[in-house]
Amino acid sequence: GLASVTWLGWCYDKRLWPRMDLSRRKSLTPPMLSGVVRRQPRALDLSWTGVSKKQLMWLLNRLQGLQELVLSGCSWLSVSALGSAPLPALRLLDLRWIEDVKDSQLRELLLPPPDTKPGQTESRGRLQGVAELRLAGLELTDASLRLLLRHAPQLSALDLSHCAHVGDPSVHLLTAPTSPLRETLVHLNLAGCHRLTDHCLPLFRRCPRLRRLDLRSCRQLSPEACARLAAAGPPGPFRCPEEKLLLKDS
């Protein structure tokens, strides 16, 4: 119909489309996909779509300049296409609320691709250059976090909100002396992680660059302990516009 013709017309205007949003479309048609490739967006939102693995592989192999990819709410079967796509420019990856994602799937994604060239020793993981990773609502455990520290060492923003298995030991891992993320994390979202207790709060003081720490709706955290952390700060104090949300103006 006319709507899709106009939509594709928009796609070709270089100035208007640094990002393309196809979210919540049940099916993606071939003209839509070729429109995306022709446009070469820097950011692509395919969240809550019926994108298939085949379609995603086709797209990603033709979008070498892609910097932001949003796949929240898609099926893991489709998302697993990431495993066979080199995304050298990727800086933000959103995998929130994907069903049936366990450690084994994340492992597949985080580990460097199996080596094909003989004699090549240093194979880079796919997420080595990623600065923002959103993993809200996934079934990951500390085994995945260990891989994350090794293969996504440049994260400045990490969303682990509503991850049922994230607890105090996870915070220990993220803030340990051996963790590269304690130096890089600026935004950390742990909202709704019900296993966290007040014992983990002092550990956040090990992260000097932290400017936003979201601990809202973490049932076992006391507002008093969060307020104490806010007052102490990593290097300087935070403000709390809301209970258990710690912010620092840059």
What is the per-residue DSSP string for 56-90?
A: HHHHHTT-TT--EEE-TTS-HHHHGGGGG---TT-
pLDDT at residue 117, as a whole number = 61
Identify the DSSP state of 167: B
CA–CA separation, 188 and 151 (whole Å): 18
Least confidently predicted of 11-15, 155-159, 200-204, 230-234: 11-15
**What percentage of the chain carries pLDDT values higher than 70?**
89
Mean pLDDT over 14-19 rounds to 67
What domains appear along the chain, each with residue ranges and CATH number? 5-247 (3.80.10.10)
Res 162 pLDDT > 80: yes
For all residues of the chain together, what is the average pLDDT?
Answer: 90
> pLDDT for 102-124, tens place per residue?
899 999 889 887 765 655 545 67
Cα atoms in the Cβ-side hemisphere of radius 13 Å centred on 134: 15
Is the CB of residue 141 less than 8 Å from the CB of residue 107?
Answer: no
Mean pLDDT over 76-91 rounds to 92
Q: Which residue has the higher pLDDT, 149 or 115?
A: 149
> pLDDT for 183-242, tens place per residue?
999 999 999 999 999 999 999 999 999 999 999 999 999 999 999 999 998 888 999 999
Mean pLDDT over 31-59 rounds to 96
pLDDT at residue 14, as a whole number = 53
Res 81 pLDDT > 70: yes
| Closest C-alpha to 193, from 173, 174, 211, 215 | 215
Mean pLDDT over 135-158 rounds to 96
CA–CA separation, 203 and 147 (whole Å): 20
Confidence band for 5, pLDDT divided at 50, 70 and 90: very low
Q: Estimate the crossing angle of helix 2-11 against helix 30-39, to 10 degrees.
A: 20
Q: Which residue has the higher pLDDT, 30 or 6?
A: 30
Q: Where are the beta strands (DSSP E) in 128-215?
A: 132-134, 157-159, 187-189, 212-214
pLDDT at residue 234, as a whole number = 85
| Closest C-alpha to 74, from 104, 94, 102, 44 | 94
